[in-house]
């Protein structure tokens, strides 16, 4: 059984979840794993001197559990806690690769955790400008809710910090403009993945 793992990272409210869901419906045997599902309970998340909960850092997540979940899926994609999305249609060039199982892991801190670096076959990163990110964030309802000043005081600074660290330590990332339409983003990433899978198949590479 062959496995292919896609990382879909990026800024908060950059469109990661929407893109992951669209891709999963068009790719064969595709599952989605959300980093947000590995957040620690609020009581275990640290608070800074301003009273801001430190959610946008690795310590706010059960990252070891996320790694274990991915490794478990890699060993047996059909018998995993990660559910498979039912594909609506599959690209004609992929119909002969029914033994391929695809995992899309989406989240805001995928490429800053060393143990995950070895699992990615393809890495994407969605970006949007500060003003657009702040506008989108203001329309979302979070539990717990963002306190006044949280975006500027914690969310955006942590995004910039982690993005710099990622750029210094990680290669082969495909950057995506999150201000483009959902259709444009989907088409770009989907065609890129199909091309990558076709290359692996044509050259007889091991998944």
Asked, for residue 116, whether it belongs to a domain, the answer is: yes
Residues in the chain: 207
Choose the catalytic residue: 36, 59, 99, 184: 36
Asked, for residue 96, whether it belongs to a domain, the answer is: yes
Asked, for residue 207, whether it belongs to a domain, the answer is: no
Q: Catalytic: 192?
A: no
Please state, in angstroms and rounded to a whole number, the distance separating the CA atoms of residues 38 and 173.
Answer: 23
Q: With contact defined as beta carbons under 8 Å apart, do 53 and 41 qualify?
A: no
Q: If DSSP codes are grouped into helix, strand and coil, which group holds residue 58?
A: helix
Please state, in angstroms and rounded to a whole number, the distance separating the CA atoms of residues 3 and 82.
Answer: 14
Q: pTM of the prediction?
A: 0.89
Nearest CA to 165 out of 90, 104, 107, 111 is that of 111
Q: State which residues form the domain around 21.
A: 2-202
Structural domain tally of the chain?
1
CATH number at residue 61: 3.40.50.300
DSSP E strand boundaries for 108-203 = 122-127, 173-177
Mind listing the pLDDT tens digit of every residue in the chain (207 residues)?
789 999 999 999 999 999 999 999 999 899 999 999 999 999 999 999 999 999 999 999 999 999 999 999 999 898 766 765 555 555 555 555 567 899 999 999 999 999 999 999 999 999 999 999 999 999 988 888 899 999 999 999 999 999 999 999 888 899 999 999 999 999 999 999 999 888 766 655 443
Please state, in angstroms and rounded to a whole number, the distance separating the CA atoms of residues 156 and 70.
Answer: 28
Nearest CA to 21 out of 110, 94, 93, 86 is that of 86
- DSSP letter string over 77-129? TTSSSSPEEPPS---GGGTT-TTEEEEEEEESSSTT-GGGTTT-SEEEEEE--
What is residue 58's predicted lDDT score, i.e. its pLDDT?
97
Nearest CA to 25 out of 94, 108, 86 is that of 86
What is residue 201's predicted lDDT score, i.e. its pLDDT?
66
What is residue 170's predicted lDDT score, i.e. its pLDDT?
83
Q: With contact defined as beta carbons under 8 Å apart, do 178 and 15 qualify?
A: yes
């Amino acid at each position: 059984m062959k496995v292919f793992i896609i990382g879909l990272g990026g800024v908060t409210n950059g469109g990661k979840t929407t893109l992951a869901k669209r891709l999963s419906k068009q790719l064969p045997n595709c599952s989605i794993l959300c980093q947000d599902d590995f957040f620690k309970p609020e009581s275990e998340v640290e608070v800074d001197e301003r009273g801001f909960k430190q959610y946008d850092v690795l310590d706010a997540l059960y990252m070891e559990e996320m790694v274990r979940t991915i490794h478990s899926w890699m060993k047996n994609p059909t018998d995993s806690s990660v559910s498979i999305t039912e594909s609506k249609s599959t690209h004609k060039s992929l119909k002969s690769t029914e033994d391929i199982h695809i995992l899309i892991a989406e989240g805001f801190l995928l490429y800053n955790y060393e143990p995950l670096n070895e699992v990615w076959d393809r890495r994407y990163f969605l970006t949007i400008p500060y003003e657009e990110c702040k506008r989108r964030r203001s329309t979302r309802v979070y539990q717990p809710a963002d306190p006044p000043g949280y975006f500027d005081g914690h969310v955006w600074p942590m995004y910039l910090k982690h993005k710099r660290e990622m750029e210094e330590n990680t290669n082969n990332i495909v950057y995506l403009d999150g201000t483009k339409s959902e259709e444009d983003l989907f088409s770009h990433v989907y065609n890129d993945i199909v091309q990558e899978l076709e290359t692996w198949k044509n050259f007889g590479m091991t998944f």
